[in-house]
Amino acid sequence: MDRYAALVDALRAEIPGFRIVKKQDSRFHRAIHHALVVVTFGRMRSYLDSFQTTIGKTVYVTADWDDWDADARYVTLRHEAVHLRQFRRYTLPVMAVLYVLLPLPTGLAYFRARFEMEAYAETIRAAAEVYGPAHVRTERHRKYVIDQFMGPSYGWMWPFRRSLERWYDRILATIGPRR
């Protein structure tokens, strides 16, 4: 069994009711997409086709999810598994308020940044496991992750580049040597 299938099975055992649903099949996610286009002044137009999203016990995936290779799905699902556990820990109403609103919905979204730091740390670890430690040490990977925090994808959630770079370096310090 590949890593991805094993992770899906493990999540089904860990989180009763866990499911993976195509985002395009959800009116709610189409509404979120339109709202994000508005609040980001048109800068976030790829919510439906470029981002996987976890709400409660459900991971909503893009239409092309099944076309991704199993390793890419594994790395992404490791990230989303962190969010599944956050929802279990904090509950859906508390997560919604913290993630979306506090202290600000854009620009300084402290709780969103914290939740995503935990999940992206897992992304970095999973990518190092699958693609090797050298992969996550590239400037391209580092920039991609840090840009998620500072760009429109998550509503410019954290504007402090140096703190993000230090955070990224702390995660790299937990990963084995280059290969």
Tell me how far CA of residue 125 lies from CA of 75, 77, 97, 147, in angstroms: 9, 12, 28, 18
pLDDT at 107: 87
pLDDT in tens, 81-120: 999 999 999 999 999 999 999 888 888 999 999 999 999 9
Which is it for strands 58-61 and 19-22: parallel, antiparallel or unpaired?
A: parallel
pLDDT in tens, 2-36: 999 999 999 999 999 999 999 988 888 888 888 88
Predicted TM-score (pTM) of the model is 0.91
Distance of alpha carbon 18 from alpha carbon 5, whole angstroms: 14
pLDDT bucket at 178, cuts 50 / 70 / 90: low
pLDDT at 130: 96
Q: Above 70 in pLDDT, residue 179? A: no
